[in-house]
Structure 1
Amino acid sequence: MDASELLEVLSPEGLRLLDSLPPWRASDDVVSSVAALRRQGHPPERVSAVLTQARLRARAEAKFGEFASRMLFTEAGLEQATRLNVAARHADRYRSAGLTSVADLGCGIGGDALAFAALDLDVLAVDRDEVTAAIASYNLSPWPSSRVRQGDAETADLTDVQGVFLDPARRTSGHSATKRIADPADWSPSLEVAFGYAERLPTGVKLGPGVDRDLLPRDAECQWISVDRDVVEAGVWFGPLARAGVGRSALVISASGAAELTAPADSEDVEVGDLGEWIYEPDGAVIRARLIGDLARSIDARTISRDIAWLSSDERVETPFAQGFRVLETLPLDERTLKRELRSRGIGRLEIKKRGVDVDPATFRKRLSLQGSGSATLVLTRVAGRHTALLCERA
């Protein structure tokens, strides 16, 4: 989206048109929609900009729920925005620490700033991109205690704020088709600058879940968050925003609620043991936080091979921190053997999971020539150091 498109949307006519449209569905015919709006006398530039927003609002429901219906977006801004249920947890840290104001530096479209404002925190939201800052201003307009400035995070005036939140830009600039930037020194602001704010103010920094752990400071709380089994971020928290005694945390959020595993530091691994009747795949947040050992001890499980994130036990255990599978058969990781075994069982739908083996699941599935109406899960991994295939059913 460029400035001219945004002006079309923000015009009184554009906003009325956008709010008059029915919710966008993936099956809607774009050509027919454009033609219908053109027949009503709307200019092509306005129609294009408004329909783009309608599609983005529909996509944004997964992150923002009912709030999406009154927000504006860019493609890149929506992709990079924090989910509202996660942003609310960010905001709660500031409120619980007794802070009343926060600067959201590199605010994007305002997802986190919105959560801060909703908890009655005074918000200063800053973004260097003109269009993005304008969209953030629109999205935050229901909260008079929030204000948006276009500017550089590194030079923002923080005189009137008590805390800082940063989501450093880790992709190239632009509103769509951006590319990932690998070097933390090239992020905006750089990782060194972002962590440096903690020397002055209570600070929280949102990072990608795959961040190099060697870059993370030892004097901060590092929390990995997954939503519906998808690891979405690593949060680094300094000063009063960090919880006493918590150095590592895995927060698992699902439709049934949230659960958290915490520890002062990375947990010690458990010993490798025999393969039992049940195996467990730890949630990605638990793996990233390196709390697999604590999880294993909490469910009386052992690892099935050194440096492999699969656990095993002789009895089924319910835990929000892992998915369980019952082992039906232990087989060699041999294509012909597996093809024969799967065909004899009439398995035509096969979920393939792999860890510790060099196999492409999609390609491997095609080569198995599946037939039948049955379903199963095939785990390709190492057991006691040996490449193994575990035929399983989900718990």
Structure 2
Amino acid sequence: MDVDTFRALLTDEGQAVLAAVSDPDPAAWPATLTALRWDHPAELVAAAVEQVRLRREAEAKFGADAQRMYFTHDGLDHASHREVAEYKLGRVLDEMGVVFLDVCHLGVGADALVLAWSHAVTAVDGDPLNIAVTTANAAALDGQSTMWIQQEDLTAYQPQGEAVFVDAVRPGAQEGGTDPRASAPSRAWALDTVRGLGAGAVRLGPDVLYGSVPEDCGADEAEWISREGEVQEVVLWWFGEANPAARVRRRATLLPGGATLTGRGLPDPAVRPPGRYLYEVDAAVVGAGLVAEVAEDVGGGVLDAALPACVTSDEAHTTPFATAYEITEVLPYAPAASGALLRGRGAGCPTVRQYGCAAEAAELGQHVAPGGRGEATVFLTRVAGEPTLLLVRPAG
């Protein structure tokens, strides 16, 4: 969708088309679309249909507000979940003590709109479609918010606020320059800009691991944020003079709940054979390289040095940073025999959690019959480098 088509969607004609295709009954769509295409441009009808689909998908991130918002494919894919955006706003309020913010590279404006709940925000992007979508969302959600939206080449932009927030998640925001199609700033530009001001944040994608965060980026903290066990994003924070206390280099935060873990400077956890308990470590903790802290807390070690998500211990502990299971049996990898064993126990279709054994998991699936009775969880991972099956049940 180009910016002209999007602007047409905001006109009275566009809104009428959007309302007409919002019927939740799929049976009504063919007749509705046929009639609309006689009276309205085909690209406008297509944009309205796509907007209805995107709004339904967006409910998972934005709840009921999604039905009043506007989206693009890329903007929705890369937008912060509302819960994550609200959490980040809390950190800004608690730890920065700033009032005037710049937000660069907008997408659908998800972060900028939340920050504008409590701050004066200048929202800047070089893409006219991002500008139009963010403007529409600001009007739809809160016409009185203190947010000024302007189109400008980000590589030439000079922040005016007390802190600057740069979204370096979207396509084009990689080392090596700017994608002219998305007007996305390079990661290098983002780091230089926030570091130069000394307060703000750079938002990175969920696949960033702690080893790939530049050691000389100058950030006070790198935070991995997960929601319901899935990493949503990584945020590099600069707190400025408002946070003079000792800095924490790495942090993992789990939502909902807000449990947070920081590094204690521990060495890599020891490798050991399976104990009585298995702890599946949250992905944010793994991404932040803080598995050693969890292993220490549960008195355990990892099953394989290359697969830190699986910690084992002889002791039962409660931790918000890992899901605990009791290991009931340890089996060498033998897919046919294991499949027969599971079927015999009435667990013909178990949940298989695999770590480092993708090919073996696919092979095991050929020997596990669907439609089994009851539920079972099986971990297929490596123990001392060898694929191994761990039959487990929830601890406690």
Please tell me the TM-score bracket, short chain as reference: 0.7 to 0.9
- 88, 100, 110: which one pairs with 1:90? 88
For 2:20 and 2:258, the matched residues in 1 are separated by: 36
Residue 102 of structure 1 aligns with which residue? 101
Residue 216 of structure 1 aligns with which residue? 214
For 1:372 and 1:344, the matched residues in 2 are separated by: 9
Unaligned runs of 5+ in 1: 173-180
Counterpart of 1:3, as a letter, is V
Q: Is the 8 A contact 2:336 2:367 kept in 1?
A: no
Q: Structure 1 pair 384/46, CA: closer, same or farther in 2 (3 Å)?
A: closer
For 2:248 and 2:264, the matched residues in 1 are separated by: 5
- 1:119-138 aligned at under 5 Å gives the runs 119=118, 121-138=119-136
Q: Is the 8 A contact 1:222 1:237 kept in 2?
A: yes
**Deviation (angstroms), 1:45:** 4.2
For 2:27 and 2:158, the matched residues in 1 are separated by: 46
For 1:144 and 1:365, the matched residues in 2 are separated by: 53
RMSD between aligned residues: 2.7
Q: Structure 1 pair 278/104, CA: closer, same or farther in 2 (3 Å)?
A: same
Q: Structure 1 pair 70/244, CA: closer, same or farther in 2 (3 Å)?
A: farther
Counterpart of 1:190, as a letter, is S
**Deviation (angstroms), 1:84:** 1.3
Deviates more, 1:221-230 or 1:374-383: 374-383
TM-score (norm 2): 0.86
Residue 189 of structure 1 aligns with which residue? 185
Q: Is the 8 A contact 1:245 1:264 kept in 2?
A: no
1:287 and 2:278 are equivalent in the alignment: no
1:147 and 2:148 are equivalent in the alignment: yes
**Deviation (angstroms), 1:189:** 1.8
- 1:237-386 aligned at under 5 Å gives the runs 237-240=237-240, 244-254=246-256, 257-263=257-263, 267-309=266-308, 310-357=310-357, 359=359, 361-369=361-369, 372-386=372-386
For 1:33 and 1:283, the matched residues in 2 are separated by: 47
**Deviation (angstroms), 1:28:** 6.8
For 2:268 and 2:81, the matched residues in 1 are separated by: 32
Q: Secondary structure at the match of 1:222?
A: strand
Give CA-to-partner distance per residue, 1:50-76, whole Å, 9 cap, x none: 222122111111111222122111111
For 1:107 and 1:264, the matched residues in 2 are separated by: 35
Q: Is the 8 A contact 1:57 1:73 kept in 2?
A: yes
Q: Secondary structure at the match of 1:51?
A: helix
For 1:57 and 1:348, the matched residues in 2 are separated by: 38
For 1:335 and 1:362, the matched residues in 2 are separated by: 10
Q: Structure 1 pair 101/21, CA: closer, same or farther in 2 (3 Å)?
A: farther
Q: Secondary structure at the match of 1:331?
A: strand
For 2:356 and 2:320, the matched residues in 1 are separated by: 24
For 1:216 and 1:350, the matched residues in 2 are separated by: 41
Moved over 6 A (4+): none
Counterpart of 2:222, as a letter, is C
For 1:28 and 1:236, the matched residues in 2 are separated by: 48
Q: Structure 1 pair 29/319, CA: closer, same or farther in 2 (3 Å)?
A: farther
**Deviation (angstroms), 1:88:** 1.8
Deviates more, 1:68-77 or 1:235-244: 235-244
**Deviation (angstroms), 1:343:** 2.5
For 1:135 and 1:54, the matched residues in 2 are separated by: 15
Q: Structure 1 pair 390/215, CA: closer, same or farther in 2 (3 Å)?
A: same
Q: Is the 8 A contact 1:350 1:365 kept in 2?
A: no
Q: Secondary structure at the match of 2:165?
A: strand
Q: Is the 8 A contact 2:349 2:368 kept in 1?
A: no
Residue 75 of structure 1 aligns with which residue? 73
Q: Secondary structure at the match of 1:359?
A: helix
For 2:89 and 2:51, the matched residues in 1 are separated by: 27
Counterpart of 1:328, as a letter, is T
Q: Is the 8 A contact 1:24 1:58 kept in 2?
A: no
For 1:123 and 1:24, the matched residues in 2 are separated by: 36
Q: Secondary structure at the match of 2:350?
A: strand
Q: Is the 8 A contact 1:24 1:55 kept in 2?
A: no
Residue 181 of structure 2 aligns with which residue? none
Q: Secondary structure at the match of 1:47?
A: helix
For 1:50 and 1:117, the matched residues in 2 are separated by: 28
Q: Is the 8 A contact 1:223 1:234 kept in 2?
A: yes
Q: Structure 1 pair 264/302, CA: closer, same or farther in 2 (3 Å)?
A: closer
Q: Is the 8 A contact 1:226 1:284 kept in 2?
A: yes
Deviates more, 1:269-278 or 1:222-231: 269-278
Tell me how many residue pairs correspond in the alignment. Answer: 379
**Deviation (angstroms), 1:280:** 1.0
For 1:28 and 1:235, the matched residues in 2 are separated by: 44
- 196, 199, 209: which one pairs with 1:202? 199
- 1:17-28 aligned at under 5 Å gives the runs 18=18, 24=24
Q: Is the 8 A contact 2:331 2:389 kept in 1?
A: yes
For 1:47 and 1:275, the matched residues in 2 are separated by: 58
**Deviation (angstroms), 1:268:** 2.4
Q: Percent identity?
A: 32
